Structure 1
């Protein structure tokens, strides 16, 4: 995995229509799931009770919250690219997000991203990415969707 460095709006625009890259795998642990449950107040047993999940869940294990897997997106995206000369990056929009498969505890996931478009909004780059969160040894991704970031480049 080679991280791509992007230093300007023009460089970003040059990647439109291309797969930008794939992140390293990240293991989703029970500790991470429990911390997300605490932060979001979502303590449903399918996420936080390994014994009950083993006995009653069709997955036979706890599963990550869908929104936990989405929350990993910026972290995994930053493994794919280094955007330089930025004032700031803003999460702007998620479109067509579809959860396709549960992520069971200790699964390894990675992000695959293709740059769909870049719009120049008076010096702010609006970048739309087709994303898929892949699960190691699974044919179906955990989710697919289109994410939009706003990049405020330095002058």
Structure 2
């Protein structure tokens, strides 16, 4: 899979209204869910207790934290695009986000991204992205939304 390489505002702006790409699949393991629980202090049983989830959960399995799936956005986005000549990237906004389906442990997810707009704000690029986190072998995505990154070029 080849990444789209962007080195200027003008080059990014050429992709407005287009799908930028799709990441590789990433499998969410129980260990990753456990580590996320420890980092966020969110120890709800639906994420961590496999035996209880098997009997009491409608999913019959532990599930990833919704915010764990959201936290994968920069990592998966980095598989789709390479921004060169970059000083820093800042998470700016989640305009809308809808969780559509739980991600069961050991499911593979990937990110599909469309560039809605790219605006130059006095040298800082504001990129609005339509994002869909797809679950392998599932018709429903984990989530859909619109997020914004700010790119500060050198």
Measured against the shorter chain, the TM-score band is over 0.9
Structure 2 residue runs without a partner (length 5+) = none
Aligned to 1:106: 106
Q: TM-score, normalised by structure 2?
A: 0.99
Over 2 Å off, 4+ runs: none
Q: Return the alpha-carbon distance in structure 2 between the equivalents of residues 95 and 123 of structure 1.
A: 22
Question: How far off its partner does 1:36 sit?
Answer: 0.3
Instruction: Determine helix, strand or coil for the equivalent of 1:60.
Output: coil
Q: Return the alpha-carbon distance in structure 2 between the equivalents of residues 51 and 37 of structure 1.
A: 17
Q: Return the alpha-carbon distance in structure 1 between the equivalents of residues 118 and 10 of structure 2.
A: 10
Aligned to 1:80: 80
Aligned to 1:116: 116
Count of paired positions: 154
Question: How far off its partner does 1:95 sit?
Answer: 1.3
Q: Return the alpha-carbon distance in structure 1 between the equivalents of residues 43 and 87 of structure 2.
A: 37
Cα deviation 1:39-96 (Å, max 9, x = unaligned): 1100000000011101111101000000000000000000000000011100000011
Q: Return the alpha-carbon distance in structure 1 between the equivalents of residues 82 and 61 of structure 2.
A: 35
Q: Return the alpha-carbon distance in structure 2 between the equivalents of residues 95 and 61 of structure 1.
A: 30
Q: Return the alpha-carbon distance in structure 1 between the equivalents of residues 50 and 79 of structure 2.
A: 30
Question: How far off its partner does 1:98 sit?
Answer: 0.2
Q: TM-score, normalised by structure 1?
A: 0.98
Indicate whether 1:127 and 2:104 are aligned: no
Aligned to 1:137: 137
* Backbone CA RMSD of aligned residues: 0.5
Question: How far off its partner does 1:37 sit?
Answer: 0.3
Indicate whether 1:150 and 2:154 are aligned: no
